[in-house]
Amino acid sequence: MQTASLVQDSADPSYQVVFLSDALSVLQALENDKLTQLAKALQMVRQTRRVVLQWIPAHCGIPGNERADELAKEGAVEDQPENSVSFSEQKTIIKALMRPRTNRDDYHTMSREQQVNLIRLRTGHNRLNAHMNRKFKLAPSPTCACGQEDQTAEHILQRCPLLDEERKEMWPSPTPLQTKLYGSRQELEKTTPFITSDGLIV
């Protein structure tokens, strides 16, 4: 899933992307859309690129696959970071995934840059302090500059006191997080400039 996100965010113009895996059962499940989150991530990649899922045998000396196995073993023995997505954000994402497929997500009608920003805000895989500190140790603290809470998408969009004035200007009346992240195009076009206008990089 992380690889799919990296491909989605990449500026590489390559039309075709090949995902190699030695887990045949996973590839078969993906073909049948049984792994919902991962299948959804791949579907986003398929909007701009041709995606090929290719099985490769395990432990046969393929350099990339052997290195992936080494990294997986290293990761298994390391301390695991806390979940950087709050319970409230998880509920928002789950509700969105449970929506009927007939409901169009206006995210698809927006520019590539807007789509990337929205996906990062929706999934919590972004460059805000909470994720960068817990996942990569690239931020000195998970806390927002306001000092009140961890800097997550929910905090920035809903509660950060440093952005109160801009927030009230963009949303004069209280607006749920779900509307800001999964609403109509009109609503989504408020969210992306609100984030970027303050100089935040998501």
The reported pLDDT for the residue numbered 108 is: 79
Residue 127 backbone class (left: φ over 0; alpha: ψ -120 to 50; beta: rest): alpha
Mean pLDDT over 82-98 rounds to 55
* Residue 128 contacts residue 153 (beta carbons within 8 Å): yes
The reported pLDDT for the residue numbered 11 is: 44
- Statement: residue 115 has pLDDT above 60: yes
Lowest-confidence region among 62-66, 95-99, 113-117: 95-99
Residue 134 structure tokens: 């817990």
The reported pLDDT for the residue numbered 161 is: 96
- Statement: residue 10 has pLDDT above 60: no
Extents of the domains making up the chain:
2-77, 87-197
Report the mean per-residue pLDDT for the chain.
Answer: 74
The reported pLDDT for the residue numbered 186 is: 93
Phi, psi of 112 (to 5 degrees): -60, -45
The reported pLDDT for the residue numbered 101 is: 46
CATH topology (fold) of 2-77 = Nucleotidyltransferase; domain 5 (3.30.420)
Q: How far apart are CA 174 and CA 91, in angstroms?
A: 19
- Statement: residue 181 has pLDDT above 70: yes
Strand 16-21 to 50-55 pairing: parallel
The reported pLDDT for the residue numbered 179 is: 93
